[in-house]
Chains A and B, each alone.
Chain A
Amino acid sequence: MNAAGIEASGRPALARGVKMRFDEARQQWILNAPERVLVLDEIAHAVLSRCNGEISINELCRELALEFAAPQEIIQADVLEMMSEMLHKGYISL
């Protein structure tokens, strides 16, 4: 466990009823969830499009470190914080 209360070995998935799509009218990626729409920036899209319930947060961060050429520790800290908030708001399940 860490400060965000989430294990890096966890395998996140979008929660039931949460769907990602590209919003043509506004040219952006979004999450549709019950009564809510969340606009995704590039990083959030990169993270959430990997949340398929199969790869762990660890593995996901390793991929992001390569893709964005950034240190994995820094990415992992940010991703864990984001996952904690997304879990609390019901966008993902772990």
Chain B
Amino acid sequence: MSQPAPPLPAPPLALLAELTHRCPLACPYCSNPLTLERAANELTTDVWRRVLSEAAKLGVLQVHFSGGEPLIRKDLEALIAHAASCGLYTNLITSGMALSEARARALADAGLDHAQLSLQDTDAAGADLFAGSKDTLAKKTASAAMLRAAGLPLTLNAVMHRGNLHHLEAMIGMALRLGAGRLEVAHAQYYGWALRNRAALMPSRAQIDRASEIVAAARARLSGRLVIDYVPPDYYAARPKACMGGWGRRFLNVDPVGRVLPCHAATTIAELVFENVTEKPLAEIWANSAAFNRFRGAGWMPEPCRSCERKELDWGGCRCQALALTGDAAATDPACALSPQHDEMFAAAQAESAAPAPEFIYRRMDGA
């Protein structure tokens, strides 16, 4: 007798479309992999159009155009227009470094629903230091004004770490001044480049506690004016975050060369083989790819996850972090206090945050 086919997974909600790894900035906590893809290997406009159509048909509701810097792609407007024609909610994740008034208007005219602009610091010297570039703050504040003038709703994304957390209040003030409706206060997440730079970025427990207080007070004070999303750093947490809302549950990422990933850091897990949109339909990859099924649901979990009552809340935390810190992608995420490695992780974070910060290793095309 043949086995019944396994049930299809629920469709994904969001697609992260990483159009390119090219970027004018060199942030030492970049979420791109350590090995970056060159322009010659990037997917063509036609393939991206097909991916967007397939994503919408599969049940994706939102597409995030990201990179690298997606503005570097000259077909960005065409891809936004195509996504909008498929009914997708379109979000642009940008550094804002190469924006012009005409381009901002073209993005809005193409049907862009929302823009998310990164901000490295509220202080010009700090912003340049953390972006590994020049004149970043002035260019970014000008870009914010261009996006707003084009009628686009704006989120500021502020990656926070030991070097800029003392400017959190100023960051909230800047979000208001720039007309953002939303601010993401996102502590650096330590994979890839940020893991390389962990000692230079890791805040102290006292800095985290102060940041949490500032966010709580600002949320109450600015209710109805500014939405603040807060992503705490899990090194100091007792329970892991539900990374990506669970592996292969809500989210997929197509990288610049077409690989389909369950998260943007998944290529760090060398045991996984990722399928490519140039070879298979997106729906087939979502449902059947061994990489997606490897950690989907709760069946793969070891103890103490397997018998944990929170296993379908946090979905075992982050696989990339488990690999980076324990050497085993299937281990309990050390962010969880029930992990045997948790105390070691916490102690390492405290020691690094108390020691002088080393120099940054900047994100470069030729690797760290």
A23-35 interface mask toward B, CB cutoff 8 Å, 1 = contact, 0 = none?
Answer: 1011000101011
Q: Which of B150-183 contact A (CB under 8 A)?
A: 152-153, 155, 181-182
Interface residues of A, Cβ cutoff 8 Å to B: 15-17, 19, 21, 23, 25-26, 30, 32, 34-35, 37, 87-90, 94
Residue interface bits B39-54, CB-to-A below 8 A is 1, else 0: 0000000000000000
Name the B residues within 8 Å of A32 (CB-CB).
Answer: 61-62, 89, 113
Are B11 and A35 within 8 A (Cβ)? no
Task: Please name all residues of chain B whose beta carbon is closer than 8 Å to the beta carbon of A94 when the two chains form the complex.
Answer: 224
User: Is B11 a contact of A17 with CB atoms below 8 Å?
Assistant: no
Contact with A along B182-216 (1 / 0, CB 8 A): 10100000000000000000000000000000000
**CB closest residue in chain B, given A17:** B153
Bound complex: CA of A89 vs CA of B225, how far in Å? 10
The answer to whether B113 touches A19, judged by C-beta atoms less than 8 angstroms apart, is yes
The answer to whether B87 and A21 have CB atoms under 8 Å apart is yes
B223 CB within 8 Å of chain A: yes
How far does the Cβ of A83 sit from chain B's closest Cβ, in whole Å?
A: 11
Report the count of interface residues on B (CB-CB < 8 A): 23
Q: Tell me if B229 counts as interface (CB < 8 A to partner A).
A: yes
User: Does A25 contact B223, Cβ atoms closer than 8 Å?
Assistant: no
Picked from B11, B114, B181, B224, the residue with its CB within 8 Å of the CB of A25 is B11
Q: Is B116 part of the contact surface with A, judged by Cβ < 8 Å?
A: yes
Contact in complex: A34, B11 (CB < 8 Å): no
- Interface status of B59 (Cβ within 8 A of chain A): yes
Q: Known contacts being A32-B113, A34-B114, is A16 close to B223, with CB within 8 Å?
A: no
B55-74 at interface with A (beta carbon < 8 Å):
58-59, 61-62
Give B227 Cβ to nearest chain A Cβ, in Å. Answer: 4
B91 with A34: CB separation less than 8 A: yes
Q: Which one of A16, A17, A34 has the greatest number of beta carbons of chain B within 10 Å?
A: A34
Question: Are A37 and B182 within 8 A (Cβ)?
Answer: no
Specify which of B13, B114, B224 is in contact with A17 (CB 8 Å cutoff): B114
Contact A90/B113 with A34-B155, A35-B155 known, Cβ cut-off 8 Å:
no
Report whether B223 and A19 are in contact in the complex, using a CB–CB cutoff of 8 Å.
no
Closest to B10 in A: A26
Q: How far is the CB of A60 from chain B (nearest CB, A)?
A: 19
Docked pose: A23 CA to B87 CA in angstroms: 10
Complex contact A16–B229 (CB within 8 A): no
| A residues near B153, Cβ cutoff 8 Å | 15-17, 34
B59 touching A26, Cβ below 8 Å? yes
Question: Across the two chains, which residue of chain B brings its CB closest to A93?
Answer: B224
**Per-residue CB proximity of B86-107 to A under 8 Å, as 1/0?**
0101010000000000000000
Instruction: Output the least CB separation between A3 and chain B (Å).
Output: 15
Q: Which residues of A contact B59 (CB under 8 A)?
A: 23, 25-26
B61 with A37: CB separation less than 8 A: yes
Q: How far is it, in angstroms, between the C-alpha of A1 and the C-alpha of B98 when the chains are bound? A: 46
Q: Cα distance A7–B235 when bound, in Å?
A: 43
Task: Give the CA-CA distance A17 to B154 in the complex, in Å.
Answer: 8
Which A residues are in CB contact (< 8 Å) with B152?
A: 17
**5 interchain pairs, CB-CB under 8 A:** A19-B89, A19-B113, A26-B59, A30-B61, A32-B89
Q: Report the separation of the CA atoms of residues A23 and B61 in the bound assembly, to the nearest whole angstrom.
A: 8
